Amino acid sequence: MSGPGVGFEYPAQEVSWTKRDALLFANSIGATAKELHFLYELDPNFAVFPTYPIILTFKGTTQDVVDFYAAQKAVAIPGVPEFDATRVVDGQRLLQNFKPLPATSAGKRFEIRTKVLGVYDKGRPGTVVDTQTDLVETSGDVVYTRVISSSFYVGQGNWGGPKGPAGTNYPPPKDRQPDAVFEHQTTPETALLYRLNGDYNPLHAHPEPGKKMGFGGVIIHGLYSWNWAAHGLLEHLGGSDPANLKEYQARFASPVRPGDKLVASAWRTGQKQGEWEEVRFEVKIEGGKRRSYDGALCTVRYVGEVAGATGSWLGVEWDDPSRGKHDGQHKGVRYFSCNSKSRTAASFVRPTRAVDAPQTFLSALNLKYASDPGQDKKPRRQVFFSGKLAEEVGFEKIRRQQAQLHELQFVILDDVQVAVASLPDEDSKESIGEVCPKVRELDLSRNLFERFGPVVEICAELKLLRSLKVNGNRFQHVLEDEGLKTAGDVLASVAELALEDTLLEWNEICHIASKFPSLTILHAGSNQLSCLTPIPPAPFTSSLVSLHLEGNDFTSFSDLAPLASIPTLRKLLLKGNRISAIHPPSSPPPVFGPNLYYIDLSYNAVAHWSFIDTLPAAFPGLTSLRFTHNPLYSNPDLDDTTTTTTTPTISTLTTQSQGQGSGGGGSGGGGGVPKTDEAFMLIAARLPRLKVLNFSTVTTADRADAEMFYLSRIARQLAAVPETAEAAVLERHPRWAPLCEAYGEPAVVRRGEVDPNFLEARLVSVEFWLVSEGDGDGDGKGGGEKRVVQVPKSFDIYAVKGVVGKVFGLSPLKVRLVWETGEWDPVGGFDEADGDSEEEEEDLEAEWVRREGTGGLGEEMPGLQTKAGRWVKREVELKDGPRQFGYCVDGLEAKIRVEKR
C-alpha cells in the first residue's frame, strides 16, 4: 500500500510494567473481587489482563505522569501536515494476542515498534491515521501482541490526501436476543482513575479541551470503554480466563461522558476457526441520556448505525416534537420508540455534533443573575418600534438588584442546561443555601435533569422554598430514584409543584407528589394522561386544594374517578382535554367530593345538554364553571332535534324602547342574541346552584332572565312537535317543572300541519299593515291600513314588494318590509368578554340615550316592567334580493309591517 506517510516507522519505544501497574489496570476497567487472578498479586494464577498492552504506548517506562501533548508532538509523519494532538480521539483498535504477557517486565526488555499504515483525508470532519504497533521482546524479537489503531484528528482534513478505504462493519444478529448483556454506570471519577494507567490526555480530565473540540466538556477515554467491554466479554463468555481472548476489535462510535451508563450486548455467532469462536457485540449508552444542541433539548434513545447511512448515529427524541422528522421509525425500520405521541418527535444526529455544556445550579444562577452583561460576546438584539430604536431604561438597576443573590426570592432558571445540583470539584466557597437563602419560588423548567434526585438536593438547601416548577424536564426511573426515597422532610415546606409536560405516568406523578406533605397546588398538564390510576395513600391527598390537568387526553369524568379520594380538592382544571361525557355507558357515573366547587372545562368536546344536566350529580359542590370553546357553547342548538331556524343570511333588526340596553346580533337562527349569549343563559338556567360562569357572577336578575329564556326555548321545542311527543321533549329538560312553578307555564302554540303536496302548503298568509304617519312607534296598535294576502313562497322579495305596492298604491322601491316574528329575546352581553364589559354597557347606554326622543321601534315584553329593557321583540327586515320569500319567514302565517322610506 502506498500513500503519504505510509510505511513510516516511529522510533522504537522502550516500555515496562510492574505488578502494581497490572493491578491498577484491571481495577480501572471493572475487574471484580471474583477475579482475584487479576487483582491479587499473590494469587497462584495471577495474570496481566490481555488488553493491557494497549496502554503501553502512552506509559512507556515512566511511573510518573506524562505530558500527553508533548509526547504526541515528538515525531511528525513526513509527507502529511503536522496535526494538532490536542484534538485527537480514538477511532478503532484491533488487538491480536500471540503470547501471554509475563506478570512484570522485570528481567526482560520490551519495546513498542510502530509504523504508519495509512493517512486519510476525510474532508471537513478530519484526518484518520492508521498505525500498526507491535509489543516486542527484544531478545529474539518475539512479538507478544499487535495493535492496529485508527486515530481521528478532529477538524483537520481538507489537505488533499487520499480518502482511504471504506471501513468494514460487523453488525450483530438482528433476529435473536443477545447471549450476554452487561452494563456499567460511569461516574465523574471513571476517567480520572483510568488515566492513571498512563493515558493522561487532558481531554478526559478538564472540560476546556472538550469544549474546543465540540464535545461540551470532559469525555471518557475511548479506550476505557474498549477495555471495559473486553473485560465484560471475557467475564461473561470466556470464564475470565485470559487465555480465552485471542483477538479483539472494536470501533469507537460516539463519545461517552461521565455519568453515561454503558450497556453491552454480545452474541455468539457459531462461526469458528479451529477452537476459536467469533463473538459480535455492541456497546450503547443507555437510552435516556439528556442532551442540548444549540438550546434544543432532547433525550438519546438510540446509538448505532442507520440503514442507508454511513457511520454511527444518535437517535434522539426532541422535547419540542415539531423539531423532529419521524417517531423513531426511519424508512420502514423501527430503531427506537418515543415517549411523545407526536409523529415528528425524533431524528438522527451525528455523535460528533457539538453539545451545550451541562450546568450546575450555582453556575447557572451566577451566569444569569450575577454575570457582567458586558462579557457576553453576542451583540444585543436591537428592538425597533415604528422605526425607532428602543432604549433600555432602568434595566441596569434591576440587574444590580438581581446580582445580590442572597436577596433573591424568585429564581427562574429555565432552559439553561442545569443537570446537577453541584459537582465535587465545583469552584464555590459557599453552598446553595448560603448563596441564595431567601428563595421562595424556584423555576427549573426545561433543563437536563435525568433523575429527580438533583432537584431534591437543590431544594434541601432552600429552607424557605414554597413553590417549585420543573415543567418540561424528562425525569427517568422515578419510582426507583434514590434521591426521592431519601428525601425525608426536605420538601415539607413546598406548597406548589409544577410537573407539566414531563410525560410522566400518573403513578410517577403521585410518587413525586407524595414527597411533598404540604402540597396544595399540583400542575400536571400536557402529560398525555388518558386515565388516572388509583392514588396510593400519601400526605398530599389530605392537603391538595387545586389540581391542574390541562392539555391531557381525558374523554370522560370516569377517567378521573380516583380524584374522588381527595376530600380537600376544591378546584379542578381540565382545559384542553377531549372530554365529551360524564361517563361511558359501561361504567357508573363518578361522584366527586362536596368541596370541589370549581371546574374548568373550556376547550373540550362537550356537545350535548345532557352533560350539563348531569354535572350536579357528579359534582354536588359545583358553584363555579368555565365552559367556553366547547361545541355546545358555540352552538347551543347542536343537539336540538326539534327547533328549526332560518338561514342566517337575513339581517336582524333588534329594537327596544328608549333608555334600554340591547344585545348584538348573533350567528344563525336569524335571532338577535349571539349563540354564546344563549349558551351562557341556558347553562345558568340548567344549573340552579351555579354562582360563577366563565368568570362572570350570575346575579339574581341574570338567573331570572336566563330561566325565563330557557322556559321559552322549551316552549318553542314543544310547539314544534305533536302533543304525543311532549314527554320525550320534557325528558331532556329536567328543570321544566320547577321553572313552570316559578314563572308559570308558557303557552304552547302549535300550528296545524299541511300536506306539502297541497297548494296551501306553498302559500304564506301574510297580514301586511301600513304604518300611518302617527304610528312612528311601530307598536302595531295604530290605525294603519291592513291587508291579508296569500303570497307564494317562491316569490322573491322584489315580487313581494310589488304585491305590497299594488295593494297599498305605493312605489315598490319606496317601502321597507319588517317581519314581526312575535318572539322575544333577552338582551345580550352574557358571554365571557375579552374586553371591558362595563365600557361596552356604557356605549350601549349612550346609544339608547341618543335615540331618546326619536321613539323606539321595539316593545317591552308584557309582564316584565320591573326588568324593562331586559327583553326585546325580535324583528327581521326583509331586504331586497332574489331570495325566495318562503326562506325568509317561518311557517304559513306571517305579519309584516310596511313602512314608507
Q: Is 783 exposed, middle or buried (0-12, 13-18, 19+ CB in 10 A)?
A: exposed
- Maximum separation of any 2 CA atoms in the chain, in Å: 137
pLDDT in tens, 295-346: 999 999 887 788 888 877 889 999 999 999 999 888 888 888 888 999 999 9
The domain over range 13-283 is classified in CATH as 3.10.129.10: yes
pLDDT in tens, 156-177: 888 888 988 877 778 888 778 8
pLDDT in tens, 41-81: 999 999 999 999 999 988 999 999 988 888 766 678 888 89
For residue 610 the three cell numbers come to: 345532557
Section 476-492 average pLDDT: 88
Pairing state between β 384-385 and 359-360: unpaired
| Whether the Cβ atoms of residue 876 and residue 653 lie closer than 8 Å to each other | yes
Section 777-787 average pLDDT: 62
pLDDT score at 440? 96
Please give the C-alpha separations between residue 320 and each of 292, 336, 858, in angstroms, as whole numbers. Answer: 12, 17, 57
Q: Is 289 exposed, middle or buried (0-12, 13-18, 19+ CB in 10 A)?
A: buried
Please name every residue paired with 251 in a beta bridge, in sequence order, or none if there are none: 92
Count CA atoms within 13 Å of residue 549 on its CB side: 26
Domain locations along the chain: 13-283, 287-349, 759-900
Amino acid at 137: E
Please name every residue paired with 697 in a beta bridge, in sequence order, or none if there are none: 692
Residue whose grid cell is 443507555: 286
Section 814-826 average pLDDT: 82
pLDDT in tens, 741-759: 998 888 887 765 555 666 6
Section 255-262 average pLDDT: 81
Other CB atoms within a 10 A radius of the CB of residue 867 amount to 17
For residue 573 the three cell numbers come to: 382544571
- In whole angstroms, give the CA distance from residue 494 to residue 518: 6
* Cα separation of the two ends of the chain: 105
Three-state SS at 900: strand
pLDDT band at 661 (very low <50, low <70, confident <90, very high): very low
Res. 671: pLDDT tops 50: no
For residue 262 the three cell numbers come to: 454503558
Three-state SS at 63: coil
pLDDT band at 243 (very low <50, low <70, confident <90, very high): very high
CATH number of 759-900: 3.10.20.90
Three-state SS at 466: coil
How many separate helices (H) and strands (E) can be counted in the chain? Answer: 21, 36
Q: How big is the CA angle at 363 (ends 362 and 366), to the nearest 5 degrees?
A: 80
pLDDT band at 629 (very low <50, low <70, confident <90, very high): very high
Please give the C-alpha separations between residue 829 and each of 13, 82, 398, in angstroms, as whole numbers. Answer: 92, 80, 43
- In whole angstroms, give the CA distance from residue 556 to residue 587: 11
| % of the chain exceeding 90 in pLDDT | 50
| Per-chain mean pLDDT for the chain | 83
- Average the pLDDT over each of 43-52, 180-189, 616-625, 833-842 and give the range with the smallest value: 833-842
pLDDT in tens, 679-722: 999 999 999 999 999 999 999 999 999 999 999 889 888 888 88
Distance of alpha carbon 315 from the chain centroid: 19
- In whole angstroms, give the CA distance from residue 508 to residue 539: 15
For residue 650 the three cell numbers come to: 337575513
Res. 186: pLDDT tops 90: no
| Whether the Cβ atoms of residue 792 and residue 762 lie closer than 8 Å to each other | yes
| Whether the Cβ atoms of residue 442 and residue 468 lie closer than 8 Å to each other | yes
Res. 870: pLDDT tops 70: no
Superfamily of domain 287-349: CAP Gly-rich-like domain (2.30.30.190)
Of 793, 787, 795, 869, nearest to 827 (Cα)? 869
- In whole angstroms, give the CA distance from residue 669 to residue 674: 10
pLDDT in tens, 549-598: 999 999 999 999 999 999 999 999 999 999 999 999 888 889 999 999 99
pLDDT score at 393? 61
Section 530-558 average pLDDT: 94
How would you label 49-85 residue by residue, b for 16+ Cβ within 10 Å and e otherwise?
Answer: bbbbbbbbbbbbeeeeebebeeebeeeebeebbebbb
